Structure 1
């Protein structure tokens, strides 16, 4: 008789632990709603929905001309230190231009989902962030430098393979 009472208690404990571990968010700690830059919440797009900067109303959306999209001032949503676009290495500025143009990219890993497993960047749904290689002269592989772009248009630079990030103040 006692074994029947243990199972519901065990299930309740597991549910509570799951909520504590994952913070009440979706599977594997991924948020089920997106927090907008204005502080509001928008629903996660369903399967097959268009995502990415173009679908999210990116500030880099083209103006209908063939000119390269120009960056607009971004608010730093992260509280992380900032780096001016003009202070990035030349390879970083070239990578930013490629991101704005939608490619083509030199590495097959570019424009792939960045998992934010380090949890340094603001927490967002899986797939919100994409990563891009910033080539390092003299390196025989991709090196440690990356730009990570969010669907909201914000971009971050790391030169130590995700140990630290700086918000990129574009256009400055």
Structure 2
């Protein structure tokens, strides 16, 4: 008899926990107001045509930008040099890359990026017009979606705020 009394209490507690964890009914109806660096609000996404419109619950939605875990200054994707934007598009597409070194692990020996396990970061060459070799510009991409730009061969980095 005691177990039958506890069952409704346990089910009620689980329901309350689910509401707390998942925001309750109507969560998906509320507009997003994300304010992290480089993030996009629902209004901004709609103005770019990347958010679902009314009556279109599964319309095209841009991938959520990675948060800036580094504390480094950010650069908007649109502020990257044209070659950097092209390399960023190639990274998203999985290649092909111009240089054989692209996609290789980046060691973060300078310790300017957040410390992560070996292999977390990969580096990609951003060609510099007029340079006879790979030049100094790179994009370093973390497996968590965070991406960084350096124009001085790892002496400094900026976080790339994608989609902006």
Structure 1 runs of 4+ aligned residues shifted over 6 Å read: none
Instruction: Provide the residue aligned with 2:107 in structure 1.
Output: 115
Matched, 1:156 2:156: no
Of 82, 89, 112, the match for 1:97: 89
Equivalenced residue count is 104
Q: For 1:127, which of 119, 124, 129 is the aligned residue?
A: 119
1:91 and 1:164 map into 2 onto residues whose CA distance is 19
Deviations 1:110-164 (A, max 9, x none): 0000000000000001100000000000000000000000010000000000000
**Unmatched 5+ stretches in structure 2:** 1-60
Q: Over alpha carbons, which structure has the higher Rg?
A: 2
Taking the aligned partners of 2:127 and 2:63, their CA distance within structure 1 comes to 22
Q: Could you tell me which of 116, 129, 138 is aligned with 1:146? A: 138
More helix as a share of residues? 2
Provide the TM-score with structure 1 as the length reference.
Answer: 0.59
The RMSD of aligned alpha carbons is 1.2
Distance in 2 (alpha carbons) for counterparts of 1:72 and 1:100: 13
Distance 2:160 2:89 in 1: 13
Normalising by structure 2, report the TM-score: 0.62
